[in-house]
Structure 1
Amino acid sequence: MKTITLNTLLAFVFFITSIYQLSAQSKRKIGKIFKASEIVNNHYTGFALYEAAKEKMLFELDANKPAIPASNTKIITLYTALNMLGDSIPGLRYITKGDSLIFWGTGDPSMLHPDLKSTKVYDFLKNSDKKLFYSHSNASNDFMGSAIYTIAMVSLPVGENTAQAYAGPDGKVRLKPDFLNAHLKLDTSYHPKSFSVRRDERTNTFSYPAMSMPADFKQTVYLVPGAELTQATLIEVLGKPVHITNMALPENAKTMYSVPADSLYKRMMLPSDNYLAEQILYLCSSTLPGKLSVDAAIEHSSKNFLTDLPDLFQWRDGSGLSRYNYFSPRSIVKMLIKVRDKVGDEKRLLNMFPVGGVSGTLRNAFKTDNGVPFVWAKTGTLSNVRIQGGYLVTRKGKKFIYSFMNNNFLIPSADISNEMVRIMTLIREKY
């Protein structure tokens, strides 16, 4: 009996030692790939590679050091939304009072969005036989958005809260919505390099230069939000009167839902839509007491959902445009694990991420392996910043979660992007 126990113990020790040796060998091999790279050694490079089956890090390179994550910040926004919103997006809060329908926005950006094509809120308001009253009382003054945007947070955005400038059939510049044309004027002191419409810094007034306009001229301009703008836009698109009230949002207000949540998240993640990312955080705050606010959503998520991140972080916006965001590679990997576990279904999870060689911001980055993709990842791009974070499947079927962060480089950004692809493809082939 003792002999069997001893043999079993020895076999177990041998098994553990073999696993350790293989793991150490893998670390050395990956380490050599990075040491041999002339590109990733001339700036900050942080890398973390997590083996899903073993639930542990296989390799780390400065993985505990915080860096600017750029649009990898959208992974944190996604996780926040998965926790704070349900399967369908709340598009409107409302009550009926006598012959009146009083409604409040939630921050839902889907109403008449050109890609999401949601008409549920529009149809609800259009088909109502009651007098319409819009209340702006739950909207914070977020024109500064996350303090760095011309994009502003809107409680009830219609068509992305934008104006479309275009060359009219009469050869004159025009704006849509049409009511904005009353605020468009010629400015002889405005001298852009090419014809463009300029919006005033704080108001929805527009000017154009005294120069030739291309016949195919088109331009999108974000609008300064406010109750009056929402009212005027709704009147134009609904074709019926809409009044303004300052009534506070009551607790018993009903909710009108708009689009499936995943359709909104996918639209944010694949093309890396900054506007949607900011609005999604604003939308998340509609589930909290008080006014709609990106900062409120960030504070709530940080205190309730992100306390287990391995390293200190700094989070300032939803999209990653801010250079004040800081997360380490280890923290990005942890976020990807949390997103995976929260979603639960692998097919649904991977459908939300750009696919290497197939879709989104990775369509032209990776090549598929004989038509089979092996990378599903969020990219991040700012000046002197190139990031990837996502999921990798190797030829042997092993599943990894990784974060590849590059900051403060002075060489062409394409060289950084190409090197990330080369290294991740090597890991795909070797492991």
Structure 2
Amino acid sequence: MKKLLYFLSINMLWLSSCSINKKISKQANQTILSDSNFISAEAQKTILSDSNFLPAHVGISIYDPSTKQYLYNYQGDKYFIPASNMKLFTCYAAMKNLGDSLVGLKYLISEKNAAVFFQPTGDPTFLHSDFKSQPVVDFLKKDTSLFKILVPAKNNFNQFGRGWAWDDYLSGYMAERSSFPIYGNVIRLAVNNKRLLMVPKLPMEYGGNNDYSEWFANKADSYSYTRNRSSNKILWDTSNTKFTKDETPFITSYSTSIDFLKDTIQGLKIGIGKSSPTLTNVIYSQPTDSLLKITMHRSDNFFAEQTLLMVSNEKLGVMNDRAIIDTLLSTDFKSLPQKPKWVDGSGLSRYNLITPQDFIWVLSKMKEEFKWERIATILPTGNEGTLAGLYKNYAGKIYAKTGTLSNHVALSGYITTNKGRQLIFSILVNNHQTSASNIRRTIEKFLIELMETN
């Protein structure tokens, strides 16, 4: 009897195991393909069987917003490092919360017109070369006889985000975050006729008044520079590479920003105050979408980070990256299909973890809440911005955000098929072992096939 019971129990376990395996297999098949007529076996083979994709982790979601149905899902609910696709979250938050113009400055003129109290807002366009019109600068230099008192903004963030690569501190794409950014928080360096040109010019103690002409005169055209992480002093040395121009971040502080401002606005009387009356007036700097367009077309990390801080300042009255992310996840982003791990505004951090379906949700919300013309202006299309050289014959048929970190590639956005069907897609590839270009070309081939056959 005991043997019979043992035999029956073993068989029940085996049958149960078979049932579970069949259920998992069925779910997997449903996950891979929701619409058997949408993607051909050849199209699937293009991307999933490609030799460059086989060692990688891949997630793909394709969604039809008109029917609110997924057409294709392959690991769409799995988490991936999104790289610069993270900027889509920041962009949506800015579109919802920053209005049509950026607040560049808050200010109040004291009684008897003795001084102007002003407070920065984290606006990254201030004295940035991308923006020729500078209303905040015009305001500050309108009457240089008035003493300007800078009131520090409330903030709680580090100059670098969590999970950023510390050894990239010299790279122009990783400028420090700050509450009073100026000149993009980078120094633009160029050598012309053996003389160093520096914009903005560093204070004297860091070599700002030294054009290094004597040093360069005795060298060939090949030299390089470096800077200690704890100092703004730039050090030059000979190199095997010809130097023409570059940009490198500087260590930010209110005093450094003031030094640069004094050098820019001659005769400016300015100091730092501890407190002020309530600042009731504002100066608007730029149209919000002019900032967002550059952010998305160039994939500008600095602009994205400062944009998130501006959203924080607008919603919370303080620049705090962690606080605004928590707030957004419990409000504007509360209905995301999977709860993401979101740690910065640009996607520089490898701590970010997002699913393809989360990006589908964000892109769907954009399309529901904002005019298409606005979205199409902000995102790059074929052969434009970070899509340059890709989708050359598909301008107007694809609008998407790229993402690239070492061994990670992402692309999420909108495509319009030959039959006029607009779809939303997200493709995330992690841990590939080839070049980013190879991954991008395979994704391009896959998406073009979808556009051509549907």
TM-score (norm 2): 0.82
Of stretches 147-156 and 322-331 in structure 1, the one that deviates more from structure 2 is 147-156
Q: Which residue of 2 aligns with 1:271?
A: 298
Match of 2:435 among 404, 412, 415: 412
Structure 2 counterpart of 1:133, one-letter code: I
Q: Which residue of 1 aligns with 2:219?
A: none
State the distance in 2 between where 1:400 and 1:80 align: 22
Answer yes or no: is 1:286 the counterpart of 2:313: yes
Which residues of 2 match residues 14-413 of structure 1 at below 5 A? Answer: 23-26=35-38, 29=41, 31=44, 34=47, 36-98=49-111, 99-128=114-143, 129-140=145-156, 142-146=158-162, 148=164, 150=169, 151-167=175-191, 169=193, 171-184=194-207, 195-209=223-237, 217-248=244-275, 250-289=277-316, 291-343=318-370, 345-357=371-383, 359-369=384-394, 373-413=396-436
Q: Which residue of 2 aligns with 1:12?
A: none
Structure 2 counterpart of 1:207, one-letter code: L
Say if 1:289 and 1:375 are closer, same or farther in 2 by CA, change over 3 A: closer
Say if 1:73 and 1:22 are closer, same or farther in 2 by CA, change over 3 A: closer
State the distance in 1 between where 2:412 and 2:276 align: 39
The Cα of 1:211 is off from its aligned counterpart by 6.3
Q: Which residue of 2 aligns with 1:18?
A: none
CA RMSD of aligned residues (A): 2.6
The Cα of 1:213 is off from its aligned counterpart by 9.3
CA contact (8 A) 1:281 1:318 kept: yes
The 3-state SS of whatever aligns with 1:351 is helix
The Cα of 1:61 is off from its aligned counterpart by 0.4
The Cα of 1:144 is off from its aligned counterpart by 2.8
State the distance in 2 between where 1:291 and 1:246 align: 18
CA contact (8 A) 1:162 1:220 kept: yes
CA contact (8 A) 2:190 2:198 kept: yes
The 3-state SS of whatever aligns with 2:401 is strand
State the Cα deviation string for residues 119-148 of structure 1 (Å, max 9, x = none).
100101111352111122434463234562
The Cα of 1:290 is off from its aligned counterpart by 5.1
State the Cα deviation string for residues 247-290 of structure 1 (Å, max 9, x = none).
33654432111100000000100011111111111111211445
The Cα of 1:57 is off from its aligned counterpart by 0.5
State the distance in 2 between where 1:209 and 1:268 align: 34
Structure 2 counterpart of 1:143, one-letter code: Q
The 3-state SS of whatever aligns with 1:195 is strand
State the distance in 2 between where 1:145 and 1:27 align: 39
Say if 1:33 and 1:414 are closer, same or farther in 2 by CA, change over 3 A: closer
Structure 1 counterpart of 2:85, one-letter code: N
The Cα of 1:426 is off from its aligned counterpart by 0.4
CA contact (8 A) 1:68 1:327 kept: yes
State the Cα deviation string for residues 57-78 of structure 1 (Å, max 9, x = none).
1110010001011110000000
The Cα of 1:107 is off from its aligned counterpart by 0.4
Q: Which residue of 2 aligns with 1:425?
A: 448
State the distance in 1 between where 2:153 and 2:47 align: 54
Q: Which residue of 2 aligns with 1:16?
A: none
State the distance in 2 between where 1:135 and 1:273 align: 28
Of stretches 314-323 and 123-132 in structure 1, the one that deviates more from structure 2 is 123-132
State the distance in 2 between where 1:428 and 1:417 align: 16
The alignment of Structure 1 onto Structure 2 pairs a total of residues equal to 400
Unaligned runs of 5+ in 2: 1-32, 170-174, 216-221
State the distance in 2 between where 1:249 and 1:28 align: 65
The 3-state SS of whatever aligns with 2:93 is helix
The 3-state SS of whatever aligns with 1:26 is coil
State the distance in 1 between where 2:377 and 2:453 align: 26
State the distance in 2 between where 1:347 and 1:373 align: 11
Task: Report the identity percentage.
Answer: 27
State the distance in 2 between where 1:141 and 1:307 align: 23
Say if 1:180 and 1:174 are closer, same or farther in 2 by CA, change over 3 A: farther
The 3-state SS of whatever aligns with 2:127 is coil
State the distance in 2 between where 1:284 and 1:242 align: 30
The Cα of 1:405 is off from its aligned counterpart by 0.9
The Cα of 1:22 is off from its aligned counterpart by 10
The 3-state SS of whatever aligns with 2:203 is helix
State the distance in 2 between where 1:22 and 1:160 align: 46
Say if 1:147 and 1:326 are closer, same or farther in 2 by CA, change over 3 A: closer
State the distance in 1 between where 2:399 and 2:317 align: 37
